[in-house]
Structure 1
Amino acid sequence: MSLALSVLDLVPVRSDQTTGDAIAASVELARTADRLGYRRFWVAEHHNMPAVAATNPPVLIGLFAGATERIRVGSGGVMLPNHAPLVVAEQFALLEAAFPGRIDLGIGRAPGSDPVTSWALRHGAGGVDDEAVARFPEYVDNVLAMMEPAGVGLALRGGQHVLKATPVAQTVPQVWLLGSSDYSARLAAAKGMPYVFAHHFSGSGTAEALELYRSTFQPSPELDEPRTFLTVNASVADTVEEAQRQALPQLLQMLALRTGQPLVAQRTVEDAETIVEAGLPEAHDALIEAMRKRWVIGDAASARDELASLAAAYGVDEVMVNPVGGAFAGTDPRTAPARVRTLELLGG
């Protein structure tokens, strides 16, 4: 099986970086992925988090697509209940018009934020409430229809009105459904859409979700058979020891998220090591070890072998890596050498 590689980026913000620094480092990462032949470069949507600058995927997609030449750029994903479907359709129709054949629209159902921020995203009009989540399948259909070149007809006040996301569309983005439960697997299968399970975040239930998607898939005009890939957190360096050290800041970040601790900007490798050396509760040590086993952490040879094994185990021909390597003190804040090196060692 020929394995294609792609990249997921959260635009992480380190303790020594401004937001602008983090974006500059991610632009360099996107250019690296483009140069090395990675298939796609996706950015996530998260809000009000001190270590994540990926708050607005369409804006970042425009930046990254403009800084690259051939790689597909997209969202992993846009959290649709946070936004009016027309706004999402307009944003991605424009991106596709500017970069035809290079734009992916990954759509998710989760809020990607805390409840207060979710409420504020809709100008205080309810945020990600039960109605918005319940209408998710309808919202997906609306986005798809509005991006079509012919638009969608709306019956309003006794008349028929055509609504288009952009005046003269020639092509449309490829739309994927994303999820970390079986809900989106079922929906993607029913609609005949590509689907991705968030293996990098959940770490469990991947095989079951993919089997459910594949076994219940209904062909559509856009897709005649199931299409999916795997997402994995990865820290790859010249030595296994170095890769393990560089993974530590993100491991502590995920530990805080899972245990309800205050979130902070991503620590340097040295600061993370100091925290671990001072001692963690036994339960936290166990959580870190469990995460470490699910991530790909190692040198080039062992990491490539592990990616190939994961792809074979889950029956996919593409793996999307989230390069999680942290930085040492004194690193140029507008760069992310460990993340770039992960892509170079895997794709070189």
Structure 2
Amino acid sequence: MRFPLKAITLLARPVAVMPSALRLSVLDQSPIRKGGTAAGAVRETLELAQLCDRLGFTRYWLAEHHSSEALAGSTPEVLITRIAGLTSRMRIGSGGVMLPHYSAYKVAENFRMIETLFPGRIDLGIGRAPGSDQRTMRILADGKPNWSSADNYPYQVRDLVSWLHDALPPKHEGFGVTAQPVGETAPDVWLLGSSDDSAALAAHFGLPFCFAHFINPDGGDRVTRAYSEHFKPSSLHARPLPMMAISVLCAETDEEADLLAKSREVWAMRLRTRGEAGPVPSVEEALQAAKEPGAERILPALRRRSVVGSPKTVRAGLEMHAGAYRIDEIMAVTICFDFEKRKRSYELLAEAFGLASHFPPQA
């Protein structure tokens, strides 16, 4: 049986529509600071999640990376369970599970279990990137055939959604096999991507879609608008649910934010130019690295993945992107060397958009 997915021509009218109320969410990659530890990064993730829950953010997603000296989040499904137990307001999810590494059936079991523990609060964001280097990807495969091909991914998405909703067709080889525990609700499946491939797949299946602007700042607005225009209503979603994830650094002043952002940008520059995925450097180290030959060309290009500045500057920047993407929710990923400054960035962001006013005071 061939998968009936038709290519989508990504043509969208460049019309900016400002959202009436912009919701904000969080993507946490559990960054490891130079001189810090991976265990410390995970503890910071738990603390940050509780803060963001109090501040009024809509979602809190955990990333998946493997064998990284910079990013400690290797198992989002484990962190989701812990963070959901520590919070009460936000939806908690993966941003995302790298589906080609795994059996769609086992992922369905994992997330049905989490949904059973925390009904109505779980998001299952999935992607097809390796989240690792090629050698680590082979280790993850454990000698099995290469299931990471682009041709197989749509089938995995189809099967995952089917197992989550007990909707496998009778001719499917897994028909009659149940992903336990069966419950009254199911996690929302989001497709994540930094190109038009996942957008086309999400539109075809009638699923929510999040574009990774913090990875690819080129064309995401056109891709996301095209997703919405070509969306095929499904039994799960009558309307498109578009979102974008962007790097955000908010500080008291534009000048302070610019300095703090240098750590992430130099880290990204080293990864891009040298293949070095080391820990996040301090501001002082980053400022020295910014003087290296070629940095004056690379760092401004990396800044395009971000919105950086004071609360006023950041709000204006995010609203501009929301209008271009035609979305009413943005996911912010914030990485800097100082954890207190990282927390403060989310506090200032919440204040700038009045997030806490959306919720009644907690008892």
Q: TM-score, normalised by structure 1?
A: 0.91
User: 1:120 maps to which residue?
Assistant: 139
Task: Describe the shift of the 1:167–1:129 C-alpha distance in structure 2 as closer, same or farther (beyond 3 A).
Answer: closer
- The equivalent position to 1:252 in structure 2, one of 261, 266, 275, is 266
Give the CA RMSD over aligned residues: 1.8
Separation in 2, partners of 1:128, 1:268: 39
User: 1:332 maps to which residue?
Assistant: none
Task: Describe the shift of the 1:128–1:152 C-alpha distance in structure 2 as closer, same or farther (beyond 3 A).
Answer: closer
Q: Does 1:38 align with 2:52?
A: no
* Displacement after TM superposition at 1:261 (Å): 3.4
Are the aligned partners of 1:153 and 1:163 in contact in 2 as well (CA < 8 Å)? no
Are the aligned partners of 1:119 and 1:126 in contact in 2 as well (CA < 8 Å)? no
Identical-residue share of aligned pairs (%) = 39
Separation in 2, partners of 1:128, 1:262: 27
Letter in 2 for 1:269: V
Separation in 1, partners of 2:167, 2:206: 20
Q: Does 1:63 align with 2:82?
A: yes
Q: Does 1:320 align with 2:320?
A: no
User: 2:318 maps to which residue?
Assistant: 307
Separation in 2, partners of 1:269, 1:22: 18
Separation in 2, partners of 1:314, 1:156: 37
Are the aligned partners of 1:250 and 1:325 in contact in 2 as well (CA < 8 Å)? yes
1:172-211 matches, cutoff 5 A: 172-211=186-225
Separation in 1, partners of 2:144, 2:56: 43
Letter in 2 for 1:306: G
- The equivalent position to 1:265 in structure 2, one of 279, 286, 289, is 279
Across the two proteins, how many residue pairs are aligned to each other? 332
1:89-168 matches, cutoff 5 A: 89-130=108-149, 133-148=150-165, 150=166, 152=168, 162-168=176-182
Letter in 2 for 1:280: E
Separation in 2, partners of 1:346, 1:228: 21
Are the aligned partners of 1:39 and 1:72 in contact in 2 as well (CA < 8 Å)? yes
Are the aligned partners of 1:238 and 1:300 in contact in 2 as well (CA < 8 Å)? yes
Instruction: Say which SS state the counterpart of residue 242 (structure 2) adopts.
Output: coil
Q: Does 1:7 align with 2:26?
A: yes
Q: TM-score, normalised by structure 2?
A: 0.87
Letter in 1 for 2:293: P
User: 1:331 maps to which residue?
Assistant: none
* Displacement after TM superposition at 1:215 (Å): 2.2
Which segments of 5 or more consecutive residues in structure 2 lack a partner in the other structure? 1-19, 352-363
User: 1:298 maps to which residue?
Assistant: 309
Separation in 1, partners of 2:298, 2:289: 15
Letter in 2 for 1:9: D
Are the aligned partners of 1:182 and 1:209 in contact in 2 as well (CA < 8 Å)? yes
Instruction: Say which SS state the counterpart of residue 191 (structure 2) adopts.
Output: strand
Letter in 2 for 1:300: P
- The equivalent position to 1:346 in structure 2, one of 326, 342, 349, is 349
